Amino acid sequence: MFDTLLEKLRNENYLTLETTPSHEPSFDNILQNLEKYDLASKIDGFSTTDNPLAKLKYNSILAAIKLQQKFNLPVIATMTMRDRNKIALQSDLLGANDFDIRTILALTGDPAHMSDQPHAKGVFEDNSQMLLQIIKSFNNSMDYAGKPFKIAPKTILPFAVINSYAKNFKSLEKKMNRKIQSGAVGIISQPVYDVSNAKKLLEHFETAREEFTDERKESQLILGIFPITRLRTAQFLSSHVPGIYVPDNWIDALTKASRIGEDEERKVGMDLSKNLLKSIQKIHPKIHLMTANKFDIANELLS
């Protein structure tokens, strides 16, 4: 399963779908919605988020286990540095490994002050680079302290993230280089909304990995796609989310559509999103689709 995912990532079309566990003691509703739209037949794997925006959610690793067992597709489980120290991170990796959860997305995590839990404090022993290094140690059959495991863990495939836009793309290039250096097999970008933006990211990614002569040379950039169906979403992403660029033509088209009505607004947004997905797939068919659990939108995009 994991070898197939890695092979597709490196050599073929590749598509994963993000799921966000909810603020409930069950993951079954998400499983049912995915099954309703038969999305497992349209993708190569899933991902699960880890308490995004520091809001309390169902555990990402346990959600990954349920997804993987239900659909027999690999699941990239997100782990953040915000909520765990190096002991807890390694403990979770060991348990996940036993359940064959072996694709891990390493994140630093959103600030704890954004949490819905009173006086929550972030751990943040380090940033996501430490988690990538921990995974590298595991893949060499030892823990982060250098103590060998009696039973070698099954190989873990580490993933990382990167902003999709910056005024100085060289800064993104340096960050991508560090993540490749630490062994990331795939780097997922924040959502892109412009083909020229995607091409620029790809150009700098190629430069970031050109120094490597070993397996790290095979690291791949995965372009994030987040469909926009409402003007307020486009405005929020454009104004309040660093590292994302929403072109003026998207804002203008959605503004005109919103004056007609919600149905027109959604139609225009879906048309823009569909055209973007098709255009991106032509130049770089390695996509991570994010829909905030709106799986009807995912189904419409992929059908």
Helix (H) or strand (E) holding 189: strand 186-191
Using CA atoms, how far apart are residues 250 and 272, in angstroms rounded to an integer?
7
The 10s digit of each residue's pLDDT in 97-129 is 999 999 999 999 999 999 999 999 999 999 999
> Quick check: 264 pLDDT over 90?
yes
Residues for the chain: how many in total?
Answer: 303
The 10s digit of each residue's pLDDT in 124-180 is 999 999 999 999 999 999 999 999 999 999 999 999 999 999 989 999 999 999 999
Q: Which residue blocks in 140-222 are alpha helix, DSSP H?
A: 169-181, 195-209
Q: Give the per-residue pLDDT at 217.
A: 93
Using CA atoms, how far apart are residues 69 and 73, in angstroms rounded to an integer?
8
Within 8 A by CB and 6+ apart from 209, the residues are 176, 177, 180, 216, 217, 219
Q: Give the per-residue pLDDT at 242.
A: 82
Q: What angle do CA 289, 12, 303 make, to 5 degrees?
A: 45
pLDDT band at 241 (very low <50, low <70, confident <90, very high): confident
Full-model pTM: 0.95
Q: Which residue blocks in 99-168 are alpha helix, DSSP H?
A: 128-139
How many other β-carbons are positioned within 10 Å of the β-carbon of residue 110?
17
- Report the chain's mean pLDDT, rounded to a whole number: 96
Range 22-48 average pLDDT: 97
pLDDT band at 302 (very low <50, low <70, confident <90, very high): very high
Q: Which domains does the chain have, with CATH numbers?
A: 2-228+286-294 (3.20.20.220)
Q: Are 83 and 59 in contact (CB under 8 A)?
A: no
Beta bridge partner(s), residue 162: 189
The 10s digit of each residue's pLDDT in 174-192 is 999 999 999 999 999 999 9
Using CA atoms, how far apart are residues 67 and 45, in angstroms rounded to an integer?
10
Using CA atoms, how far apart are residues 143 and 189, in angstroms rounded to an integer?
29
Q: Give the per-residue pLDDT at 182.
A: 95
Q: What angle do CA 88, 94, 97 make, to 5 degrees?
A: 135
- Say which range, 3-7, 17-21, 86-90, 151-155, has the weakest mean pLDDT: 3-7
How many other β-carbons are positioned within 10 Å of the β-carbon of residue 163?
17
Using CA atoms, how far apart are residues 267 and 274, in angstroms rounded to an integer?
10
The 10s digit of each residue's pLDDT in 49-99 is 999 999 999 999 999 999 999 999 999 999 999 999 999 999 999 999 999
